[in-house]
Amino acid sequence: MKLRALVVDDTALFRRVISDALGLLPDVEVVATAPNGKIALERIETLRPDLVTLDVEMPDLDGIQVLEAIKQRGLDCGVVMVSAHTLKGGDLTIRALEKGAFDFITKPSGGDIQTNLGSIRDAMLPIVNAFRRKREIRSILSTHAPTSAQTAADKAKPVSSAERQAPAARSAEPAVKADLVVLGISTGGPNALTRILPTLPANFPVPILIVQHMPPLFTQSLAASLNGKCAVRVKEAADADIAQPGWIYIAPGGKQMKAVAGPKGEVTLRITDDPPENNCKPSVDYLFRSIANHFPGKAAAVIMTGMGSDGVVGLRLLKRQGSRVIAQDEASCVVFGMPGEAVKAGVVDVVVPLDRIIDEIRRSVKG
């Protein structure tokens, strides 16, 4: 079945380019466009599209206001924000993602129409595929919600060997408590982080290092937004930062972040311009590998919602050295790519819903 899409942008050129790019994707049909937020809401109400690409910055009703109206009216459509690659665009996009937008793309800043068409098509393809998969999972979960009778029957069924090998919803208490936490996350990350990190106390006993897949400027906006919501302090990491308890450090977009041991064994962050890994910069594997090299067995690792498999190789190294690995479960993920691949690789100790991630982190660290 085709995904029905609505393209919203106040610039005629971008409405055309985004529409043409979506039209090149398999099983996607652009059913309409809208030049502003008011018309967009009218067309969402009448056409009921599956997916809306929504310009962040528009006169009258901007993208944030349209997104809020979609949520308030209970309109069932996914929203992909389309943002300028600016600090203001980053701030607005982070707000949209925190409010439940599925994902975002940035507008090309140069090039001819054909080049821009190709870049938007390439950016939208994995997002559309992930959105389609999320809808399938939601449909399966809603269709097969167990009755009390089914639940009782399931409890009586013998457990298969595959089920016995799956990570438990709550693993045994870790034998060794961690000195730091490392966390990898991508699609759906800002909303997930906004929901869990404000529950940490100001005196959280270890530092937390986060790789969130995002371009430059956007990670700065994410860190500022989280810092305003959290009791712990949150910042975009800078080169030579010494990671401190009660602080969260977010890898800068467009850079790589690694941790190395300082003269007294302190966790020193280095920000580099090393190449992308898994087409990601920052890369989860890059950070996790540095932790395995410099702080073996000292970190608890968390892998959360996101496309692809970034983080699996690093988790193999961390797990081999005794690190405890926590993964977000499929039902609470926007995309179960990164945690799903880690589970398949057999490097996860415990799989829990989003609202239990912090409990598992606190069980895993010293203090």
Question: Which member of 19, 83, 171, 186 is catalytic?
Answer: 186
To the query of whether residue 144 is one of the catalytic residues in this protein, the response is no
Pairing between β-strand 103-106 and β-strand 208-212 as defined by DSSP bridges:
unpaired
Pairing between β-strand 233-236 and β-strand 51-55 as defined by DSSP bridges:
unpaired
Question: Which member of 50, 213, 225, 349 is catalytic?
Answer: 213
Q: What are phi and psi of 311, to 5 degrees?
A: 110, -25
Those residues with Cβ within 8 angstroms of residue 103's Cβ, 6 or more apart along the chain or in another chain? 80, 81, 97, 127, 130, 131, 187, 188, 334
CA distance 172 to 200: 22
To the query of whether residue 186 is one of the catalytic residues in this protein, the response is yes
Q: How distant, in Å, are the alpha carbons of 20, 88, 106, 279 from that of 111? A: 16, 22, 14, 22
CA distance 183 to 280: 15
Residue whose C-alpha is closest to residue 33's, from 13, 59, 15: 15
Q: Give the ranges where 251-367 is alpha helix by DSSP (H).
A: 284-294, 312-320, 337-344, 357-364
Q: Which helix (H) or strand (E) holds 34?
A: strand 28-34
CA angle centred on 198, ends 245 and 300, rounded to 5° = 45
CA distance 229 to 100: 17
Question: Which member of 50, 285, 310, 329 is catalytic?
Answer: 310
Tell me which residues are annotated as active site. Answer: 186, 213, 310
